Amino acid sequence: MNPRRKKRLVIVSSVLIGLGAVAGLVLYALSQNIDLYYTPTEIVQGKKDTGMKPALGQRIRVGGMVVAGSVKRDPNSLKVSFDLVDVGPKITVQYDGLLPDLFREGQGIVTNGVLVKPTLLEASEVLAKHDENYMPKEIAESLGKDYEKKVEKKAAGK
Amino acid sequence: MFKWLHPYANPEVSYNFCGKLQPWLFRLSALFLTIGLVWALLYAPADYQQGDSFRIFYIHVPAAILAMGIYFAMAIAALSSLVWQLKLADASAAAMAPIGAVFTAIALITGAAWGKPMWGTWWIWDARLTSELILLFLYLGVIALHNAFEDKNLAGKAAGILSLVGVINLPIIHYSVEWWNTLHQGATVSKLGAPSMSASMYWPFLMCLLGFSFLIAALICLRFRTEVLARNSMRPWVRELAMNSTEQKVCHSSSCHTHSQN
């Protein structure tokens, strides 16, 4: 390679490496803010690195699994309440509105709302979080309960 | 080591080579897309949870993968144009940018259409969706820079620097779902290890991915050739080409024995 090309290659690659390092550091510094949601554990115990907890009255997103058997619907309105969990403590969510199609017990969801008590969220939006697994109905049925448990464990472990 | 590549630095040789490649790429893409889409949309089993809505996967995922692939190819072209000052590399980068932008837009739009029924929202500012939107803006910036200067070499340099800087976004898009909490699910197929998808759903996906790849290759050939022609319009071989094609057109449309006999 002749010297001029070599010089250009060195310049271009050093600029790229420098920018990569800058981007990496910025993203690392922002990593807490880029997270879309808090997990229930983080609301009760604080974020892992900083111990930061959301304040009461703060608008936050919470993501977790809907606890089986915790969904209570009001027979006369769209009001619904359910518990969210990841690995530790539970957060209760109250919501008045339409739930997405994928909402069901054991499903991962992300909800946006105001923290009114330390473990009570007044939600204004409930979104379903789909996992990366795709399969036909027959296979899902044959895998049955074992599979669902495995998925829950995996998600909780994450 | 790269001696065999040297003849292709000549615009005319590259133009003719792509001209030969192009019809085959179009045929292959038609073949694989027909098999893949018919299989995927009519015969692949419905998902146990999402039903038929999951079929948008067969357009969304290939579009997203290939949008990133085109960007990477464009960045390599930009690098070789900046370091080795290959004019054809500039032409190919300019040819790739709009195709990549369209596929990024397809990924975003199909994703939004899927997100509304499944998640409950068209759009959310999570890391995956935001970084994919930035990819679209990078493409638009590269296209704008290619057209912003009268001097094509200068334009290629400016656009090349932007496309190289934007490469940083590619790992961010890919790992966004692992590094941060996002609403978007993790990778189903574009990861090491077995895909999180049954084989009966995975095979049509591969067909679609191949079909779209060939389609993109064919479109890049097409755009690359016009780009080469536009950039070499004053060269004798291009003029000769233009003369020949107009003569043929005249002959096709009416009787022109005098022309054809010459």
Supply the ipTM of this predicted assembly.
0.72
Q: For residues B139 and B142, what is the distance between their CA atoms, to the nearest angstrom?
A: 5
CA end-to-end span of chain B:
45
Looking at the complex, does the CB of residue B80 fall below 8 Å from at least one CB of chain A? no
Rounded to the nearest integer, the mean pLDDT of chain B is 88
User: pLDDT-derived band of residue B259, with 50, 70 and 90 as boundaries?
Assistant: very low
User: Taking a C-beta distance cutoff of 8 angstroms, is the pair B219, B21 a contact?
Assistant: no
User: In degrees, to the nearest 5, what angle opens at C-alpha B189 toward C-alphas B139 and B92?
Assistant: 30
pLDDT of residue B255: 53
Gap between the Cα atoms of B17 and A96, Å rounded: 63
At residue B33, the pLDDT reads 94
DSSP letter at A156?
Answer: H
% pLDDT > 90, chain B: 54
pLDDT for B249 equals 67
Strands A90-96 and A120-128: parallel
**Contacting B residues, span 166-185, partner chain A, CB-CB under 8 Å:** 167-168, 172, 179-183, 185
pLDDT at A71 > cutoff 70: yes
C-alpha torsion angle, residues B176, B178, B184, B187 (rounded to 10): 100
- The DSSP code for B183 is S
pLDDT surpasses 70 at B257: no
Q: Which of B119, B164, B165 sits opposite A127 (nearest CB)?
A: B119
Best to test chain B binding among A5, A28, A31, A34 (most B CBs inside 10 Å): A34
Bridge partners of B197? A134
Tell whether the model's pLDDT for residue B230 goes beyond 50.
yes
Q: Is the pLDDT of residue B183 over 60?
A: yes
- A40 within 8 A of A88, measured Cβ to Cβ: yes
The two structure tokens encoding residue A112: 């946006």
| DSSP state for residue A54 in the 8-state scheme | P
Cβ neighbourhood burial of B256 (10 Å; 0-12, 13-18, 19+): middle
pLDDT at B174: 92
Summarize pLDDT for B62-78 with one digit per residue, the tens. 999 999 999 999 999 99
How many angstroms separate the most distant Cα atoms in chain A?
80
- Considering chain A, what is the average pLDDT of its residues? 81
Taking the Cβ of residue A125 and every Cβ of chain B, the question of whether any pair is shorter than 8 Å is answered with yes
Query: Is the confidence at residue A140, as pLDDT, over 50?
Result: yes
pLDDT-based confidence at residue B143 (cuts at 50, 70, 90): very high
Query: Euclidean distance between the first and final Cα of chain A, in Å?
Result: 48
How far is Cα B48 from Cα B63, in angstroms, rounded to an integer? 24
- Nearest of B180, B185, B176, B181 to residue B114 by alpha carbon: B185
Q: Which of A144 and B92 is assigned the larger pLDDT?
A: B92
- Does the structure show a pLDDT above 70 at B16? yes
Contact B118 A134 (CB under 8 A): no
CA distances in angstroms from A136 to B48, B52, B258, listed in the order given: 5, 10, 67
* Chain B contact present for A110, CB below 8 A: yes
Per-residue b or e along B149-177, where b marks 16 or more CB atoms closer than 10 Å to that residue's CB = eeebeebbbbbbbbbbbbbbbbebbbebb
More confident residue, B253 or B88: B88
Region B36-47: what's the mean pLDDT?
A: 88
Measure in Å the smallest separation between the Cα of A90 and chain B Cα atoms: 18
Q: In the prediction, which pLDDT does B188 show?
A: 82
pLDDT above 60 for B88: yes
Residue B46's pLDDT band, with cuts at 50, 70 and 90, is confident
Q: Distance between CA atoms of B166 and B139, rounded to whole angstroms?
A: 9
Q: Is the pLDDT of residue B169 over 50?
A: yes
Contact B48 A135 (CB under 8 A): yes
| Of B76, B62, B23, the residue nearest B213 (C-alpha) | B62
Closest C-alpha among B107, B69, B39, B85 to residue B217: B69
Q: Tell me the range of A5-14, A128-137, B143-152 where mean pLDDT is highest.
A: B143-152
Q: Rounded mean pLDDT of A48-69?
A: 82
Asked if B45 reaches chain A (Cβ–Cβ under 8 Å), the answer is: yes
User: How far apart are the C-alpha atoms of A118 and A126, rounded to whole Å?
Assistant: 19
Residue B87: is its pLDDT beyond 70? Answer: yes
Q: How many CB atoms lie within 10 A of CB B249?
A: 10
How many whole angstroms separate alpha carbon B203 and alpha carbon A19? Answer: 39
For residue A9, is pLDDT > 70?
yes
Count other C-beta atoms under 10 Å from residue B17's C-beta. 15
Average pLDDT score over residue span B178-207: 83
- Given pLDDT bands bounded at 50, 70 and 90, which one contains residue A157? very low
Report, as an integer, the average pLDDT of B235-247. Answer: 85
Best to test chain A binding among B61, B81, B128, B180 (most A CBs inside 10 Å): B180
Show which of residues 30-69 on chain A sit within 8 Å of chain B, judged by CB atoms: 31, 34-37, 39, 63
Taking the C-alpha atoms of residue B103 and residue B249, their distance in angstroms, rounded to an integer, is: 34
Among B55, B81, B119, B123, the residue to mutate for chain A (most A Cβ within 10 A): B119
- Whether residue B134 has pLDDT greater than 60: yes
Q: What is the pLDDT of residue A24?
A: 87
User: B147 vs A99, which has greater pLDDT?
Assistant: B147
At residue B251, the pLDDT reads 61
pTM: 0.83
Q: Quick one: average pLDDT of B52-58?
A: 87
Q: Selecting from 1.10.268.10, 2.40.50.140, 3.30.460.80, 2.60.120.10, what CATH number does the domain A40-132 have?
A: 2.40.50.140
Give contacts of B82 with chain A, Cβ < 8 Å: 8, 12
Q: How far is CA B261 from CA B243, B246, B258, in A?
A: 15, 15, 5
Question: Rounded to a whole number, what is the distance in Å from the CA of B120 to chain A's nearest CA?
Answer: 5
CATH topology of domain B18-42+52-186+197-231: Four Helix Bundle (Hemerythrin (Met), subunit A) (1.20.120)
pLDDT of the residue at B261: 44
Q: Are B91 and B227 in contact (CB under 8 A)?
A: yes
